Chains A and B, each alone.
Chain A
Amino acid sequence: MLQILADGLVIGSVISLGAIGLSLTLSIVRFSNFSHGELLGWGSYLALSALAVFTATRESLAAPLGPFSFGWGLLGALLVSTVLTALLALALDQVLFRRLRSQGAITLVIASFGAALALRNLLLFWYGGVPQYYSQNLQIAIPILPRSVWGGLRVTADQLLVLALTLATVTALHLFLRHSTLGRSMRATAINPSLARVAGIDPERVLRATWIIGGILAAVAGVFAGITVQLRPTLGVDLLLPLFAAVILGGIGSVWGAVLGGFIVGLAESASVSIVGAEYRAAAAFAVLILILMVRPTGLFGEKH
């Protein structure tokens, strides 16, 4: 029981971080970006390559830090990956989405679907289909509660760190969107683009900021998925449905909605594993999606359109 909750929160962290970026794209760039999942996949693999470079130059960077399975190398790789993934998101906008923006949202959706396939297959081409890991160190889960208390609870230090860093990232993003000028411009553009323009907000700057933030969060989420599960080229497409379900559940454009939605979808996934078995895990997100469409299509924190 408690174990399901803990596992759900860890999966939920990855989904939340991915869903925030997707939600921002949906509300500011105004289309459903089917290639957003691939940013997570690319983020995880770019970190893997950066890590390989780091450990090749200095062996000591791979040495595990305290209770964690990874060393300073991975933290450095995470930083490199956020920069590169943000650049990838910007590049994608530059060569594809920007040119199609005048043709309406649906053309953008089709294009993003194509970009997703191309990006995923490039990963498959370069890194191969075999799952990989950042570290070969085995981590032993720390028993927090014995089996007699609500089925017991075991977590790894990595999982706790992922959860803590997710909450820290989300809080930082919240402060940025609420208090910085750029953050306010982004919110203004999401609510009313033409009015924001009249108020002197440069829409291009806002779009750039959106892609950069989405890319950074996607890279962090991808690396977290790599740490807690594994790296595989299908990571992006496997996470896409949970991401969309989280965005719609939380209400399009709402950061806290996306976070809450992410955790709920994560919990639904981990609960479904114990109810119907691991092979139908991905259907849990679909069930959540259908349910929210039936009950409250605007989501928990969404405004009426």
Chain B
Amino acid sequence: MPDVIGWVSYASFFLVFASSFAIVVLGLNLQWGFTGLFNVGVAGFVALGAYTSALLTTPEVAGRLGGLGWPVAVGWLCAMVVSGLAGLVIGALALRLRHDYLAITTFGVAVTIQLVANNATVLTGGPFGVQFIPKPLQSWLGTGLPWTLGYLALSLSLLAMVYLALERLVRSPWGRVLRAIREDEAAAASLGKRPFVFRLQSFVIGSMLMGLGGAVYAHFVGYIAPEDFLPILTFQLWAMLIVGGSGNNRGAVLGAFVVWTFWAAAGSLLRGWVPQAEQARAAALQVVLIGVLIAFMLVLRPRGLLGEEVAVSRADTGT
């Protein structure tokens, strides 16, 4: 039954990618969906996490910094810390200003990280990227399908943990303050909540999740290069959030799987229809297609597939 094995293997590859994206989209949802912070440099934060974990866990390579050979779990933690720190610095600079500034600054972060990834060859391997990123559990599960399934289980359980933690967080008093600030900053401030502090916390936690998603992706593929983190990635992630429904964690996860399916299907259709010589041009059309999808979604169904739940305050009739 080679077909079934091939199919299962393809499906699990697909699902691992989708779940690593879903972790990132959950982070983006915390920033945008619950706090109203517009991050245009998502790919930069993802790249930061992926590169951090890769550099810390890969075996030593002559002529390149990093290669410390640390355990993968430590690499993932450090990925979250480094992306979070980047979020802290950028947030501290831009979050006090008009919202456009955050968009422009985060865009700058993504551009700059792309530059460093491409040019700081001593650290990042330049355009050739980082290879031999260790795949966790491989000594235990081998290299074939069992490992892919094992990694799928790992990334799905991480996704579930992140989802549950975020659900608790946004339903806590802290989450209510976030939404209050998003809806009416002056009212929230008048109740003694400092909008800047809450925004900064939300932005940093979101950035950490983006770093984690990047690390999960890097250790699955085993190889990362600057071209994995182009602006198109930012846009795919945004498309996932908008299609799924921002302000709703289930929507964010659903959107990740739906848009990734759409993207993969569009890619394989174009590959099937378009002659070999025109493949590069067809890839450009694939991007146009997703651009059109998001524009349609914004115009026709701005709340996404699953919109934000309407929160109705219960009147306190106790007295």
Contact = CB atoms under 8 A, between A and B. Distances in A.
A125 B115 contact: no
A282 B284 contact: no
Given A107-B302, A109-B38, 18 more contacts: A26-B100, A109-B103, A110-B38, A111-B295, A111-B298, A113-B40, A113-B235, A114-B294, A117-B288, A117-B290, A121-B288, A121-B291, A124-B281, A125-B285, A244-B104, A248-B101, A279-B119, A285-B108
Contact of A237 (B103, B104, B231, B295): B231
Interface stretch (B90-98, B190-198, B209-217): B90-98
Nearest to B109: A286
B218 interface: no
Q: Is the interface of A mostly helix, strand, loop or mixed?
A: helix
Contacts of A128: 281
B38 A121 contact: no
Interface in A240-260: 240-241, 244-245, 248
A268 to B, nearest CB: 13
Contacts of B242: 110
Contacts of B38: 106, 109-110
Closest A-B pairs by Cβ, 6 of them: A118-B291, A121-B284, A286-B108, A121-B287, A279-B119, A125-B284
A169 to B, nearest CB: 25
Contacts of B119: 279-280
Q: Is the interface of B mostly helix, strand, loop or mixed?
A: helix
Given A106-B36, A114-B235, A282-B115, A125 B100 contact: no
A287 to B, nearest CB: 9
A132 to B, nearest CB: 16
A122 interface: yes
B111 interface: yes
A263 interface: no
A161 interface: no
Contact of B103 (A32, A96, A99, A293): A32
Given A109-B100, A118-B292, A283-B112, A289 B105 contact: yes
Contacts of A117: 231-232, 235, 287-288, 290-291
B106 to A, nearest CB: 11
15 contacts: A26-B100, A100-B299, A105-B100, A106-B38, A109-B40, A113-B40, A113-B234, A117-B290, A118-B291, A121-B291, A125-B288, A279-B118, A279-B119, A289-B108, A290-B108
A71 interface: no
B107 interface: yes
Which of A111, A113, A280 has the largest number of chain B CB atoms within 10 A? Answer: A113
A114 B291 contact: yes
Interface residues of A, number: 43
A105 B103 CA distance: 11
A200 B203 CA distance: 43
Interface in A18-45: 26, 31-32, 34
A106 B99 contact: yes
B284 A297 contact: no
Contact of B100 (A31, A103, A115, A237): A31
Interface of A: 26, 31-32, 34, 96, 99-100, 103, 105-107, 109-111, 113-115, 117-118, 121-122, 124-125, 128-129, 237, 240-241, 244-245, 248, 279-280, 282-283, 285-286, 289-290, 293-294, 297, 305
A38 to B, nearest CB: 11
A219 B36 CA distance: 34
Given A107-B298, A110-B238, A241 B111 contact: yes
Contacts of B291: 114-115, 117-118, 121
B107 A121 contact: no
B62 interface: no
A44 B40 CA distance: 26
A100 B298 contact: yes
Interface in B263-300: 280-281, 284-285, 287-288, 290-292, 294-295, 298-299
A285 B115 CA distance: 12
Given A118-B292, A240-B107, A241-B107, A105 B112 contact: no
